[in-house]
């Protein structure tokens, strides 16, 4: 899968979980500082990524990811 596609799908999940427009989400956006996610939403994000990409991630490590870029990089390893 192209990095571009991973990124756009990551943004899609984020926009759905955090209820915001995809256009508001920058590539390097930080989940907490820029997007205002809380810890519960982080859990939803992890499940959302798993569902979107049909993968099972290491939940604990996944929860440490802080940004869109970081998530893209992390997910790519599983693809």
Partner 1 sequence: MTSRFELHQENLKKIFNPESVAIVGATKLKGTVPYDIVENILKSDFNGAVYPVSPREKHIASVKAYKYVIDIEDPVDLAIIVFPSAVAHMALEQCGQKGIKSVIIISAGYREIGEKGIEREAQIKEIAEKYDISFIGPNCLGVINTDPSVNLDASFARQMPDPGNIGFLSQSGALCTAVLDYARAKHIGFSKFISFGNKADISEIDLMFYLMKDEQTKVILLYLEEVSDGKALMNAAREVIAQSGKPILIIKSGRTSEGASAAASHTGSLAGSDEICDAAFEQAGILRCDNIEEMFNKAMAFAYQPPPRSNRVAIITNAGGPGVLTTDAAVKEGLEIARFSEETTKLLKRHLPSTANIKNPVDVIGDARADRYNAALTAITNDDAVDGIFVILTPQSMTNIDAIAEEIVKVAKETDKPIYTSFMGEADVASGIDILLRNKIPHYILPESMCKAFESDFRFHHKIKGHRFKPVKVEDVDKEAAAKVLEGALQSGRQVLEEDEAEIILGAYGLPVLKGGLAKSAEEAIEVAKRIGFPVAMKIMSDDIIHKFDTGGVILDVENEEAVGIKYQEILDNVKEKAPEAQIRGIWVTEMAHKGEEVILGIKRDAAFGPVIMFGLGGIFVEIFKDVKFRVAPLGETGAREMIESIKGHKLLAGARGKNPADTDSLVDCIYRLSQLAVDFPEIKELDVNPIIVYDEGNGCAVVDAKIMF
Partner 2 sequence: MEYRKLSPEEISGLEQQGCTSDNWTEIRVSASFDISKIYKTAFNGSCRIGLVNRALSGSNGEEIKGGIYNSVLRNATLEDGVLIRNVHLLENYHVETDVIIENVSELLVDGESAFGNGVEIDVLNEGGGRELLLFDRLSSQLAYLMVIYRHDTALMKLLKGAIEKYSKEKRSITGRVGSGSRISNCNTIQNVFIGFDVTIKGAQYLQNGTIIGEKDASTFVGSGVIAKDFIIQSGSVVDTGALLEGTFVGQGVKIGKQFSSENSVFFANSEGFHSEAVSVFGGPYTVTHHRSTLLIAGMYSFFNAGSGTNQSNHMYKLGPLHQGIVERGSKTGSFSYLLWPCKVGPYSVVMGKHGGNFDTSNLPFSYLTVENEKTFLTPAMNLITVGTRRDSTKWPNRDRRKGTTKLDLIHFDLLNPFVMNKVLNGIDILTELYEKTPKEREVVNYNGVRIKRLMLKSCKKYYEMALHIFIGDQVFNKIEKLNAPVTMEVLKGLMKNNNTEPEAEWVDMAGLVTPGGQLNDTISRIKTMKDADVLKIENKLLALFENYEIYSWNFVCQVMKERFGITKESLNSDHLEDIILRWKENSIRLNNMILSDAKKEFDANSKIGFGLGGDDAVKNADFEKVRGNYNENSFVKGLHEENGSIETRATDMIKKLEEL
- Active site positions, annotated: 38
- Closer residue to partner 2 in complex, CB, 2/56: 56
Distances (CA, A) of 14 to 7, 32, 41, 68, 76: 10, 12, 10, 9, 16
- By a kind-dependent CB cut-off of 5 to 8 A, residue 69 interacts, out of partner 2, partner 1, none, with none
Three-state DSSP state, 63? coil
- By a kind-dependent CB cut-off of 5 to 8 A, residue 47 interacts, out of partner 2, partner 1, none, with partner 2
How far apart CA 78 and CA 25 sit, in angstroms, is 23
Residues numbered 17 to 36 that lie near partner 1 (CB under 8 A) are 18, 20, 30, 32-36
40 binds partner 2, rule: CB under 8 A = yes
């Amino acid at each position: 899968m192209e990095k571009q596609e991973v990124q756009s799908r990551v943004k899609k999940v984020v926009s759905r979980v955090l209820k915001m427009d995809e256009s508001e989400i920058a590539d390097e956006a930080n989940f907490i500082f820029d997007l205002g996610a809380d810890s519960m939403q982080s859990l939803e994000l992890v499940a959302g990524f798993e569902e979107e990409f049909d993968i099972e991630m290491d939940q604990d490590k996944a929860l440490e990811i802080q940004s869109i870029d970081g998530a893209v990089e992390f997910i790519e390893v599983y693809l």
